[in-house]
Structure 1
Amino acid sequence: MRNSIEIAQYIKKIRERKGLSAVELANRVGVTKGTISRYESGTRKIPMDDIPKFASVLDISPVDILIESRDEPVEINSTKYPYYPIGISAGLPLCIDSIDENNVEYISIPDNLMGKWAGRKDIFMMRINGDSMNRIMPHDSLIAVRPVPLSNLRDGDIVVYSDGGDYAVKRFYRREDKVIFRPDSSDLSFTDYVTSADNIDLRIHGKVVLYIAELD
C-alpha cells in the first residue's frame, strides 16, 4: 500500500497525465488550490475519506490510488505542438482562407515518435489530404513541418507551400527562374505545379521533417 506522500504524488501524476491544473482538480474535488499544493508537496496528508472524490474526478478506482500495481503503464514523455486542423492538399492546390494563430490548436505527440525532432519549438503539425504524395505519405498522414528559409531548401525536399490562397504539399525543385512542386504518387494523373521564382504570392511555409501514418 502507498504511503501518504506516494498517494499524493500518484494523484499529481494522474492529474498531469489528464491535463488538469491544480486549480481545476481543486474545484472538482471541492478544496482550495492551496490545499492541493500542500497535498502534492507532502506538507499535508490527504484524508482517507477524500480518496473516493479524487478517484471519481480522475476517473480511476480508489484502489488504484491506494495500492501500487505491477501493471501500471510506463510513463511516456510527450510534447505539445501547434496543430492546424486543416487538411493540406496532396493533390491540386487547395484554396484555404488562411493558416494563422486563429486556427491553431495543440496536439500532444510522444517524444519517441518524434525522434530527433522531439521538443522542438519551431515544429508545427498538419494533416495531408489526398494521394499525390502517396509513395511517401498516405492520405491523412500527420506531418511535422519546420519553417526553413528558401535558400536552405534542396531539390526533392517535401514542403508545404501556398500560392495566394492555394495550399499544398509537394516535392520542391528550383530551375533557374522557375519553382516546381512535384507529386510523388503511384497515380500518374498528378502533374507538376510550376510557378515563377518571382511570384510574390508564393510562400514556403516549411519543410516536412517527419510524418506519422496509420497503416491498414
Structure 2
Amino acid sequence: MQNFIGNNIHALRVNKGLSQTEFAKITGVSQSAISAWERGESTPHAQHVQALIEAIPELVPDDIMSEELGYAKKILLHPNTRKEDVIDVPLFGSIAAGEPLEMLTTDEQYPLPVSIHQKHPHAFFLKVEGESMNRTLPNESYALIDPTLKEIHEGKVYAVSVDNSAATIKRIHVRNDGITLMPDSFDPTFEPSIFSNSDKTGHTLKIIGQAVWYTVPYGRSI
C-alpha cells in the first residue's frame, strides 16, 4: 500500500517550512514519530490529526488521511498554494556563536529552497547558539554550511573546529602570521580570538566550511 498519509504529512510539513522537531511540537509527539509517519512505518492517531487541525486552521482531516483529497495531491493540483520548492537537508547540530562548544549531532533535517541547494548541493545546517555573531547570524538561527568552500577568504564567515572537537562560527580576518576569528555582534564585549602560526600552545584549527545562507526557524520571534 502506498504511504499516502506519510506523503501528506511530509508535503504539509515542508510546505509550511517546518523541521520535524517543530512539527512534532505541534502534534505533541517526538521527532522520531514524525520521521516514522513520513516513512510509512506508523500512522498518527486521531488526537494528533486534531492537534494539527487546531494549529493550522485551514486544514481538514482529509488533508492528512485521504489519498485522493490529501495535502500531497492538493499541492500538485494547485501549485499556487505551494511555497518555493524545497528539499530536506541535514541539520547536524549546534555550533557556538560565542565560546567554542562541542558540536552536537542529530538525525534532524530542515527544508532548504531548491534554488539554494542547487548552488550548494553538499551543504548542511548548523544551529547557531550565542550572540557573538548576531549582526549576521541571529541566536538560534540555522546557518547553512558548505563544506566544499574551505579556502579562506578575508572577511567571510566560516564554521571552524578548535582542537578537532569544539566548534565555533566566526568571521575570519587573515593576518601575515595567522588568522583572527572575529565576532560580529551588537554586544561590544565579545573579543576576537587570535591564532598565530607560531602559537606554541598546540591549538589546531580546521575549517568545516563557509556559511553561505541562514534561516530563522518557524515560530521564532526576532
Percent identical across equivalent pairs? 21
- 1:158–1:119 distance in 2 versus 1, CA, 3 Å: closer
Structure possessing the higher radius of gyration over alpha carbons: 1
- 1:93–1:193 distance in 2 versus 1, CA, 3 Å: same
- Does residue 163 of the first structure (1) align with residue 162 of the second (2)? yes
- Does residue 207 of the first structure (1) align with residue 213 of the second (2)? no
Distance, in Å, in 2 between the alignment partners of 1:146 and 1:62 is 37
Total equivalences in the alignment? 170
- Does residue 60 of the first structure (1) align with residue 38 of the second (2)? no
CA contact (8 A) 1:111 1:119 kept: no
Distance, in Å, in 2 between the alignment partners of 1:120 and 1:12 is 28
Unmatched runs of 5 consecutive residues or more in structure 1: 1-7, 29-54
Match for 1:17 among 2, 5, 11?
A: 11
Task: Give runs of aligned pairs for residues 148-159 of structure 1, distance below 5 A.
Answer: 148=148, 150=150, 152-159=151-158
SS of the aligned residue for 1:138 comes to: coil
- 1:194–1:107 distance in 2 versus 1, CA, 3 Å: same
What is the CA-CA distance between 1:76 and the residue it aligns to?
Answer: 4.9
- Does residue 82 of the first structure (1) align with residue 84 of the second (2)? no
Q: Deviations over 1:170-203 (max 9, x none)?
A: 1011111211100011111001101124766211
- 1:175–1:209 distance in 2 versus 1, CA, 3 Å: same
- 1:118–1:186 distance in 2 versus 1, CA, 3 Å: same
SS of the aligned residue for 2:69 comes to: helix
TM-score (norm 1): 0.62
SS of the aligned residue for 2:81 comes to: coil
- 1:142–1:11 distance in 2 versus 1, CA, 3 Å: closer
TM-score (norm 2): 0.61
Distance, in Å, in 1 between the alignment partners of 2:86 and 2:79 is 21
- 1:130–1:200 distance in 2 versus 1, CA, 3 Å: closer
What is the CA-CA distance between 1:61 and the residue it aligns to?
Answer: 5.6
Distance, in Å, in 2 between the alignment partners of 1:57 and 1:159 is 45
- 1:163–1:131 distance in 2 versus 1, CA, 3 Å: same
RMSD: 3.8
What is the CA-CA distance between 1:74 and the residue it aligns to?
Answer: 2.6
SS of the aligned residue for 2:169 comes to: strand
Q: Deviations over 1:7-36 (max 9, x none)?
A: x9x879537637644x648xx6xxxxxxxx
Distance, in Å, in 2 between the alignment partners of 1:122 and 1:62 is 33
Task: Give runs of aligned pairs for residues 82-161 of structure 1, distance below 5 A.
Answer: 82-86=90-94, 88-94=95-101, 96=102, 103-111=105-113, 115-118=115-118, 120-148=120-148, 150=150, 152-161=151-160
- 1:148–1:192 distance in 2 versus 1, CA, 3 Å: farther
